[in-house]
Amino acid sequence: MSCGNCFECDNCYGVCPRNAITELGPGKGFAIDLDYGKGCGLCTVECPSGAIDMVPEE
Ligand code: SF4
Ligand code: SF4
């Protein structure tokens, strides 16, 4: 079970239309550059484990 935990399937990395997601390497997860992202939510929808939450920008 991996609910809520990233298991490095690369889905979010592959679907981001802005290339805002960077792979940090095996076991290190991913970084999302909030200045490049456009808030489309694709990564959140496509994540099979629900590991990505979208929150309003302050
Ligand atoms: S919400 Fe941002 S990081 Fe996620 S897919 Fe869209 S542009 Fe990329
Ligand atoms: S889609 Fe979800 S599980 Fe897959 S790499 Fe991205 S955050 Fe991790």
The CATH number of the domain holding residue 32 is 3.30.70.20
**What integer pLDDT is reported at residue 42 of this predicted model?**
97
**Which range marks the domain in which residue 15 is found?**
1-58
Judged by DSSP in three states, 50 sits in: coil
Angle at 42 between CA 37 and CA 43, to 5 degrees: 75
The rounded average pLDDT for each run of 10 residues, N- to C-terminus, in the chain (58 residues) is 89 97 94 92 96 90
- How many structural domains does the chain have? 1
Which atom of ligand 1 approaches the CA of 18 most closely?
7
What's the Cα-to-Cα distance from 36 to each of 4, 7, 11, 14, 15, rounded to whole Å? 24, 23, 18, 15, 14
The residue whose CA is least distant from atom 6 of ligand 2 is 12
**What integer pLDDT is reported at residue 1 of this predicted model?**
65
The partner residues of 30 in beta bridges, in order of sequence, read 23
Q: Which of 6, 11, 18, 54 to mutate to test the pocket of ligand 1 (most atoms within 8 A of CB)?
A: 18
